[in-house]
Amino acid sequence: MLDISQVKRSAIYAAAVVGVVVALFPASAAAVTQQIRAVFYPDASNPQFNKFENRTPLSGFCLDNPPQCHAENLFSLRLPILSYSNATIVGGHTNKRLGAMFNIPSQWQDVTVSHPTAPPQTVRFRVAGMGVAYKLPLPAPELTGGLGHNYLFEGGTWSYAGPPCTGLMGAGNDIGFNSFWRHPVSAGICAKKAVFDIPQPFKYETFDITYELDTPNPQDMVSGQYTGQHIFRVGPSQDFDLGDVMIPQDNVIVLDFLLDVEHVLKIDIPPGGEKIQLVPAGGWQRWLHAGRKPVRLFRDQTFNISASSRFKMFLQCSISDGRVCLMADRDSMLSAPLKVSVSLPGGLTDSAGRPVQRQELVTEGGAVTFQPSHYVDRKPGTLHFELEKPDHFFLPGAPKQYFGGVTVIWDSEI
């Protein structure tokens, strides 16, 4: 009789959301900090979905205008940054930097996120758009000779962005107007020329951004929290460049990235599956009646596995030669190697991407790694046990009992 016990080391991880990032800046700089948080947890109802879910609270333009943002698949943040003009914007100006302009970090950038024990990962991030609500010193009809916002800037209202940007429909009143501009990748400067003079105090009362986040494959990450930070400068000729006339009150944006990974590794063995009795094909009676010694003693034990990330398997043995487990006679201590192998369900492969059929398992020094192509939820696998040299045990005399203990370990701590 073989006694097999199951150990699920780190079978289910739970990540606590704790992240404190301290950034040091010159005393003269004011910083705005914003957290970007995404979570991966395998979904049994959608096992093929292997992406992070953005859990950053919605704010800004998309919170105020949900239908437009839903149609454009936009997600926005409102940062508490006010910008004021330091001079009159002269109507008909030829230098873009002397009017309303936006040059934002619309190109893809790499952000490294780190884990306390695992290798770092790379998040790709870009600012995909920006919106402001401007406020005039006087009602728009007064500045434009009765014409209003439609004629204050070249090309129509603030909703019609300066190329290559594209604007979304906005709204306003006599002294203010709010809209959002989408910026293509590496768009460069998007600007609108003032047709009429806009004296001080002209200001941007909001600072909204939308962003795109390209996260790593969560199946290549371990459970826990990954953190990283990216810093943007705001002001003339900086990352967020609003020209030479519009000056922001805060000149540093700190983005704190928190990626929470909550993997599942769970093994269910049917009741009684911890006791493995090795028998010949067809049972003992068939061989005893024939007067022959069986050439093979074996047993297959099924189990159900749920896995969303890489794991390794290995054995711990009560009797071992250092690599494989052994079975022994309690009296004579004759021993023979016990071969243990595993077959895994579809969706789980070896490290080379091959299906797993009767992959031999040995002690920890020869642990074998497996990986999912998607979340596998309660799919059946099989442990195969076989005594490799049963002839050792077929000795004359009274019936004997042979024993061996095997612990099969599924370990996600890779």
- What's the pLDDT at 88? 96
- What's the pLDDT at 64? 79
Instruction: State which fold the 2-9+265-411 domain adopts.
Output: Immunoglobulin-like (2.60.40)
- What's the pLDDT at 61? 79
Q: Are strands 368-372 and 121-135 parallel, antiparallel or unpaired?
A: unpaired
Each domain of the chain, given as residue ranges in start order, spans: 2-9+265-411, 58-261
- What's the pLDDT at 19? 26
Q: What is the dihedral of CA 129, 135, 140, 142, to 10 degrees?
A: -150
In DSSP notation, 289-321 reads HHT---S-EEEEEEEEEEESS-EEEEEEESSBS
- What's the pLDDT at 6? 40
Which residue matches tokens 């790694």?
Answer: 369
- Average pLDDT for runs of 10 along the chain of length 414: 43 25 38 92 82 87 79 84 96 95 96 94 94 94 92 92 88 89 95 96 94 88 93 96 96 95 91 86 68 77 92 92 85 80 95 95 95 92 86 56 87 78
- Give residue 45's region: left, alpha or beta (phi > 0; psi -120 to 50): alpha
- What's the pLDDT at 50? 79
**Contacts for 237 with CB less than 8 Å, ≥ 6 apart:** none
- What's the pLDDT at 113? 96
In DSSP notation, 35-88 reads EEEEEE---TTSTT--S-EE-PPP-THHHH-HHHHHHHT--EEE----EEESS-
Which residue matches tokens 């490294």?
Answer: 112
Tokens of 99: 């009017």
Question: Which of these, 209, 150, 140, lies nearest to 173 by C-alpha position?
Answer: 140
